[in-house]
Amino acid sequence: MVRDRFLPLAAAAALLAPEGALHAQAAVDPAMVPRALTLAREGRRADATGMLGRYLATAPADGRAWLTIGRFYLLDVRDWHLGNHEATPDAGLLIDLAGSVLDQADRFGLDSAVIFRGLVEFERAVLLVEERGWDEARERAPHGFGVPLPPFVLELGYNLLNSCPAGGVLATGSDLEALAVWTVALGAGWRRDVQPFLPSLYAVDPRYRKRMADAFGVDAALTVQQAMAKVAEKRPLCLSPMADRAAAPMGLWAPVRLVLVAGPADRRAPGGVLAVTALLEAQGGPASPWTAEVRDVYAAAARHNVLLCAGLLASLGQTVEGCRK
């Protein structure tokens, strides 16, 4: 079954063939992606991946199939972290495969393709942290990650980083938050004083835990909650709106802009403009599930900090659930 996972590379070659060569290709089968998703839900993701690989080798014009197999590879990367990094193929190869097939999906104009393509580079950065440590990974991270994310996603990243006090650690929750923050922090080099942090990965991946414990100056044997409590003794600890509060240490949390902050007494944000201009512009364009996802992050922030409704989020009005009257 591992061999089947290499089939999308052959399919990519078919897609890039001269236009005349594609006339002999099979027609798009609208039932193929639902069938693959059903297999994946049944715990047969490897079978679903192989089936899509064989299908795309003959029907490379199915953008949804490219997107789906790319998402499967990203899930395989997550499973690799959970399996003590011993599975074959390894994360590096899976990341490269995900990038290749999602590049094909992007050619069909699917708005989700660029988001998942960005997650490929996010996973590549996480792997770099595990291999080289936080400091070296930050220095080596490619400028911009090479993926043109939607402006409203980048705007979210700037807003979250600009909400965390100087020298803080910013713990993110959802994939979208992590993508926005890591792209801006590592890819664009913004707010180098703030350290993005993935509590969910710290809890389950010994290699990531060791690297981040070294960066924090804490014992890697500590649980994620204990490690975060130690961090908060010396640095501002910021929770993004979607971060899991159950994993956070007990104590007093203060709302600061979009985040909750614990730690040293000076919890003021360091300044920097917060804006939702890009999100407003995107909401006026074609419908996208990602504008709703970003809006949900702001809504979660508003539930912790009602002042946002009359300030930063006032222009979004009733589209933000946390600000509805």
Question: Are 218 and 79 in a shared domain?
Answer: no
Alpha carbon dihedral 278, 279, 285, 288, in 10-degree steps, equals: 130
Q: Which residues contact 195 (CB under 8 A, 6 or more apart)?
A: 134, 168, 169, 170, 215
Omega before residue 286 within 30° of 0, cis:
no
Phi-psi region of 85 (alpha: psi -120 to 50; beta: other; left: phi over 0): left
Class of residue 112 by CB neighbours under 10 A (exposed 0-12, middle 13-18, buried 19+): middle
The answer to whether the beta carbons of residues 137 and 204 sit under 8 Å apart is no
Question: Are 162 and 306 in a shared domain?
Answer: yes
pLDDT digits (tens, 9 = 90+) for 155-201: 999 999 999 999 999 999 999 999 999 999 998 889 999 999 999 99
**Strand runs (DSSP E) across the chain, as ranges?**
169-171, 195-197, 237-239, 254-256, 259-262
Does pLDDT of 272 surpass 90?
no
Out of 81, 109, 137, a domain closes at: 109
Question: Are 168 and 215 in a shared domain?
Answer: yes
Total number of domains constituting the chain? 2
Residue 134 lies in a domain: no
Residue 64 lies in a domain: yes
Residue 120 lies in a domain: no
Name the band, by pLDDT with cuts 50, 70 and 90, for residue 234. Answer: very high
Residue 137 lies in a domain: no
Does pLDDT of 59 surpass 80?
yes
Question: Are 294 and 214 in a shared domain?
Answer: yes
Residue 59 has φ and ψ, to the nearest 5°, of -135, 65
Read off the tokens for 300.
């979660």
Residue 306 lies in a domain: yes
Name the band, by pLDDT with cuts 50, 70 and 90, for residue 83. Answer: confident
Residue 24 lies in a domain: yes
Question: Are 231 and 168 in a shared domain?
Answer: yes
Q: Decide which of 86 and 99 is more confident.
A: 99
Per-residue pLDDT at 149 = 94
Distance CA 33, CA 55 (A): 10
Residue 94 lies in a domain: yes
Per-residue pLDDT at 321 = 79
At residue 239, what is the residue type? L
What is the arithmetic mean of pLDDT over 221-229? 95
Looking up tokens 């079954």 gives 1
Per-residue pLDDT at 271 = 72
Q: Decide which of 140 and 220 is more confident.
A: 220
Does pLDDT of 100 surpass 70?
yes
Question: Are 98 and 34 in a shared domain?
Answer: yes
Residue 32 lies in a domain: yes
Class of residue 103 by CB neighbours under 10 A (exposed 0-12, middle 13-18, buried 19+): middle
Read off the tokens for 42.
């049944």
Per-residue pLDDT at 4 = 46
Query: Could you list the residue range(s) of the whole structural domain that residue 61 is in?
Result: 3-109
Phi-psi region of 240 (alpha: psi -120 to 50; beta: other; left: phi over 0): beta
pTM exceeds cut of 0.85: yes
Nearest alpha-carbon partner for 284 in 253, 239, 248, 315:
315
Question: Are 208 and 310 in a shared domain?
Answer: yes
pLDDT digits (tens, 9 = 90+) for 68-79: 999 999 999 999
Does pLDDT of 55 surpass 80?
yes
